[in-house]
Each structure stands twice: as C-alpha cells, then as structure tokens.
Chain A
Amino acid sequence: MAELTLIEGVTLALARAMEEDPAVVILGEDVGVNGGVFRATAGLQQRFGDERVLDTPLAEVMIAGMSVGMAAQGMKPVAEAQFCGFTMPMVDQIMCHAGRMRNRTRGRLSCPMVLRFPSGGGIHAPEHHSESPEALFAHMPGIRVVIPSSPSRAYGLLLAAIRDPDPVIFMEPKRIYRWQREEVVDDGEDLPLDVCFTLRDGSDITLVTWGAMIKETLAAADALEKEGVSTEVIDVATISPLDLDTIVESVGRTGRCVIVQEAPRHCGVASEIAAGLADAGIWGLLAPVKRVCGYDTVMPLYRNELKYMPSVRRILDAASQVLEVS
C-alpha cells in the first residue's frame, strides 16, 4: 500500500482505468510527453503509448467536441482541460451535446466521457487559472459534476467517473493536489457518484463543503472541537446529482449548518444546498443556515486571492453566529 497525494490518486485511477478498458483514451494539451502541467498523467504515455494518451493541438473546443464524437462511437475519452478558465469554450460542446446525446437520440447514442481539470485558487497562478465553475456545470442537465477532496476519494471517484455510462465533469482541487498523503489501495474499487461523505461525526453543528475548502473547513472543525463544539463535517464530493438526504439528516440532528464554498455565492451550489434544507423543512433547525463563499467579484490576481477565498476565520465567524442563536 502506498501513501499518495490527491494528484497521485488521480494518476493511479487513470492507469487502472486504462489497464482494465482498452476504450479508455486520454487526450489533452501537454498530457503525453510532459505528463500534464501538474503531472496528473505522468508516465501514462510511456506506459500505454501515444495512441492511448494523445497530445492534442491547442484547441479546447476540439478536445471537447472530439471527446463527444469519440464517446458516441464507443470510446471512453478522458479529456483534460489544462485549467478551469480554459473550459469556457468547451461549454457549448458539453451543454449542447454531451449532456443531451442520450436523451435526444432516445438512448441510441450516449456520451461516456470524462472532462477533468484543475480548478480553484490558492496557488499563485495567473489570471483565468483559479476559478471554481462547478455551479455552471451543475446547472447543465445530463451532466454529473464530481469534486474529490482526498487522495483515496480522488482515486475512487475518478474510477467511477470513467466507468460511468454518462458524461462526468471531474474537477480537481489543485490547491490540495499535494496537501496530504493517504494510503490508497489500488484495488479497482470505485466510490458512488451520488452520495456525500461524512468526514467527521458531530452533534452541535454541520459544516458542509467540497473540494479544496475541505482544508479550511477541517481546520475550523478542529478549532470548534477545542471550544467543545461537536462538529460534523460533510464532503459533498458529487455536486450533481446532489445527495441532499445526507445533509438534511445531519442538519436535522445538529440543528445548525454552515456551508462553505470557494466559488462566488450568487446562484452557487451552497445556495442550492441551503434551498434544499429550507425545502426539506427541518423543524429542529436552531439557527439560520449560513453560507461562507467566495465574493461575487472577479477572482483577484494572486496577491489578493487568499483574501477572496473563505478563510478559517470567516468559517468560524459564521459558525459562531449560528451557535450564538439558541
């Protein structure tokens, strides 16, 4: 058993999927010889050859559109967009074709493709490299949106995404690519794409988050525990379809909830979760549900990016407001 980082979990899942299914093909910019700008595909072209790991011309629409075409003709393309900001030209192909292929042909054709890309801020990257567009993709019918937050979940969720018969957007929180090491067993076991993961059990408050914000949220949970607040932490992991049941059940017990997301607040996933909690009618709710989010501004250049993203202190501030209500 190996202690791996999150990005090594990604690489391990890619290798496993390629080994077990010859239809799996990786394509993207710099994914071959270079192994990806973050090294997610390191060593894969050497191992599987340049007909399974394809360096593409520099054309994002092409990567998405050809993945749709390949997927509809029996391949399982795993496309990489180099950064979240470069997925925007792909939106046409993802929304207008990938998510509709099965429905509009009444199941005659399908689109079992994965589009994976590093997302989120916090690594001092240039402009257009630090956004968190999960709500944009989660709004598209026919698309699954998955964000791992640990090495083993990266492995299990990516395997599931590649094996899934429908299109999956797999967003990799690059700020925590190498944050922690964890034992990852390369046993080919995937994880379900429709459940949240409860990382810590607690009885006083529920913190809900996903992606790289897991780091600040767990730190906030540590601080709360020190204060004697029993804190439950939920990693949403699969944004679409959203497992509201797990969150509702937790908040039903704790009566208090703070949702943490790095993306802008307006029309975000946190809002969807808050609306789901309202809709569920939690009679034991003890306090308002709070969202701690990125601001509804342009993601600032790197000198200010950490101030944009929810901090441990902002999470604790929201938690204390929620806990003060009795």
Chain B
Amino acid sequence: MARTVAAFKVDHFQFLDPDGKLIDEQKSPSLARDFDRLIELYRRMVLTRVFDKKAVALQRTGKLGTYASCLGHEAAHVAIGSAMQPEDCFAPMYREYGVQFCRGVKMTDVLLYWGGDERGSNYAGAPHDFAWSVPIATQCLHAAGAALAYKLRGEKRVAVSVVGDGGSSKGDFLEAINAGSAWKLPLILVIVNNQWAISVPRSKQNSAATLAQKGIAGGLPSIQVDGNDLIACLWAMEKAIAAARDGHGSFVIEMMTYRISDHTTADDARRYRPNDEVEEAWRKEPIARLRSYLTDQGAWDEEREQALLEDCARKVQKAADDYIDTVTNDPQPVTAMFDYMFAELPHDLAEQRACAERFPEDGGHH
C-alpha cells in the first residue's frame, strides 16, 4: 500500500502572447500598464540587440575574437538585470549582456573581454559582480557563496546567477540548488533555456518535462515562464528577488527562450538544426512582441522607433570606437600578465616578469 508523501507541479507563466496581445487583461500584473517602465526596458532590449549585431560584425571583420551572441535572449536578460538592486550580485555565464548593461557593465567592457583584453572584466560600473564564467555552471556556486556571505553578515542583498539548459545538467547547478535549500540563501538561479547547448538540443539533456523541476527536487519554489515575454520574466524576477530579500530563501526560474544565433561566432548552427525551427523562433522573439504590445497600446510609434534605433547605433558605434582606440593606443604591456596574479608578486614570478620585460614585443615567430 503506497501513500503519496510529496506531490509537485510546475506552473508556466505567460502574459504576452507571441503577437503582443495580453492573454488575460484582468490577470496581468500591474506592470503591464506601466508603460513608462516598459518603454525604458524596451529601449534596453533594443540597445542590447543593436550592440550584439555590432559585436558579431566586429568579429566577422577581424576586429574582435570569438563572441557569444545573445540574440533572442533580450527579454530574459533585461528582466533579470532590471529586477536587481545595485547592491545585489550577479554571477553571469557568458552571454548575459542585457543583464550586465542594467548592472552598469559598459559595452566597451564586453568588447574588451571578447577582444582579448582582461580589462574588460574590471567592471567599474558593477564593482562586486562576478565576471563571465566560461566553465559551465560554475558561476551558480559563486552566487551561492555570495548569498551565504550576505546572509551571514545580515545584509539584505540577493545573489542572482544564470545557467543554460545545458548547464542545468551539471553538478555545480544542482549543488547550488542544494546549498540554497540547505541554508535558505537569498539566491535566484535562472535557467535561460534557449533550447540548445551548442549542437545538443534540450531533448538530449534529459527527459524531464521541465528544467524548473530540478529546483523543486532540491526543495526550492520553482516556476517556468515564457522567456520571450518581458512582462512574465520581470514579474517572476521581482517576486522572487523580493521574497529572497525578505528571508524566504532561494528560487529557480526557468525562462523558455531560443538561441536564435549560433552558439558563438566560431559555430555554424546550420550544421545541426533545421531552419524552420529558427524561423519559428523569430516569430516568437521578444522585441517584436513587446513593440507590438506597446504600439497597440498607443505607447510607441514608428517615429520613436527610428529615433531609438539611431540613438542605439550612435551609442554602440561610440563603444566600438572606444574599444578599438583602447586596444590600439593603450594596449596592456607584457608585464600586465604578472601584475594581478597575487596581491604581492612572489619572487619566482618577479623573476619571470623581469624576463618578459626583456622581450616586450615578442610572440610567435618574433
């Protein structure tokens, strides 16, 4: 004779449909009527996309190294970033520019990093945020550690980390869920489920119906939202962050979106995924959706759109110019690789630094 000792469900939240219509006006959060705020976030989303396109173009013309595009993730990313307070802490993976711009990271920072210059991770505008984390899901534990630090010090700060659908298969992510659950940490783990881990589709990660349920398995309240619906993403993030800040522990939010771009500029997704899937993703993408909604509501028009695009293009061009100027006219010297290894350089490294100084222009065949 069996009895049920635990039962679970995963709710999916969506307020704006792909055509930009509110699914149920009555049940939509008040945010759906806050047009000033929505317009501000729309501007951020568009700026992120214009930046992203420019970064890919810089890579294609040999001015930037390998770059991981965020095309299609703009609603998820801007929602995460704008739901956070400056004193909170963000631990990114490597394509969350939309979050980071909200946090004060500069477009030139992003370009410097992918342009092969460590100064890109020295965020003047987000001094305590973690830098990009290339080893998959490792950043989830940094956020958990930050959350534990804040909790132990009695600070009302929240740590937020992002992981992908592929990253949700890793132990670091699951161990972060477990830590959040064990210590009731002020921690938000967001799975930005963009359906592809390079060439491996979501269906091959596991056969779970959702990835959010991994949070439930670890004891955390967990939901799924339409990751292309800014209103749903922001509503979920704000609720979770407020609760975490008030001592109610950790949350997992799975944001369902789509990686419209290649994995990085070194990848060619046409090798492994059907084009009709990408076309379908374009029909659901977040920016056109929000623009339709704002236009239908009389809060946006073509004239403002054109002005915004010009403004974004100007800002992005300035960032690109600043980046090129920095790496051209103010490159890091050869000794820069030594100077931040330790607070104080050990004697053996000092010796190697002196050696490097003797060959300041060397490299490759020189």
Contacts and interface: CB of A to CB of B under 8 A. Distances in A.
Contact of B148 (A70, A93, A105): A70
B144 A69 contact: yes
A165 interface: yes
A312 to B, nearest CB: 32
Interface in A55-100: 56-57, 59, 61-62, 64-75, 77, 89, 92-93, 96-97
B340 A103 contact: yes
A69 B340 contact: no
Interface residues of A, number: 44
Nearest to B140: A65
B138 A75 contact: no
B149 interface: yes
Interface stretch (B50-58, B71-79, B238-246, B342-350): B342-350
Interface in A23-56: 25, 51, 56
Interface string B117-131: 011011100011011
Nearest to A71: B145
Contacts, number: 137
Most buried by B among A56, A105, A166: A105
B341 A102 contact: yes
Contacts of B159: 69
A93 to B, nearest CB: 6
Contacts of B153: 74
A166 B349 CA distance: 15
A160 to B, nearest CB: 13
B35 interface: no
Interface string B139-169: 0111111111110110000010000000000
B128 A68 contact: no
Given A61-B172, A69-B146, A75-B149, A105 B121 contact: yes
B343 A102 contact: yes
A304 to B, nearest CB: 33
A61 B138 CA distance: 9
A66 B118 contact: no
Contacts of B133: 97
A61 to B, nearest CB: 5
Contacts of B175: 57, 59, 61-62, 65
A110 interface: yes
Given A51-B152, A66-B148, A73 B138 contact: no
Given A62-B179, A96-B138, A108 B146 contact: no
Contacts of A103: 118, 337, 340-341
B178 interface: yes
A141 B341 contact: yes
Interface in B146-204: 146-150, 152-153, 159, 171-172, 175-176, 178-179, 182
A51 B343 CA distance: 28
B122 A73 contact: no
B91 interface: yes
Given A59-B175, A104-B121, A65 B348 contact: no
Nearest to B343: A165
Nearest to A193: B346
Contact of B341 (A57, A62, A72, A142): A142
Nearest to A164: B343
A85 B103 CA distance: 40
Interface string B25-49: 0000000000000000000000000
Given A105-B131, A108-B121, A241-B349, A65 B142 contact: yes
Contact of A73 (B149, B171, B182): B149
A106 interface: yes
Contact of B138 (A25, A65, A107, A242): A65
Interface in A140-166: 141-142, 165-166
B89 interface: yes
A68 B349 contact: no
B182 A70 contact: no
20 contacts: A61-B172, A65-B138, A65-B145, A66-B141, A68-B141, A69-B147, A69-B159, A70-B148, A73-B150, A74-B149, A92-B138, A96-B135, A102-B340, A103-B341, A105-B118, A105-B123, A106-B119, A109-B128, A241-B349, A242-B348
Interface of B: 89, 91, 118-119, 121-123, 127-128, 130-131, 133-135, 138, 140-150, 152-153, 159, 171-172, 175-176, 178-179, 182, 337, 340-343, 346-349
Interface of A: 25, 51, 56-57, 59, 61-62, 64-75, 77, 89, 92-93, 96-97, 102-110, 141-142, 165-166, 194, 241-245
Given A102-B341, A103-B118, 12 more contacts: A57-B179, A62-B176, A65-B172, A68-B141, A69-B91, A69-B142, A69-B147, A70-B149, A74-B149, A74-B153, A105-B340, A109-B131
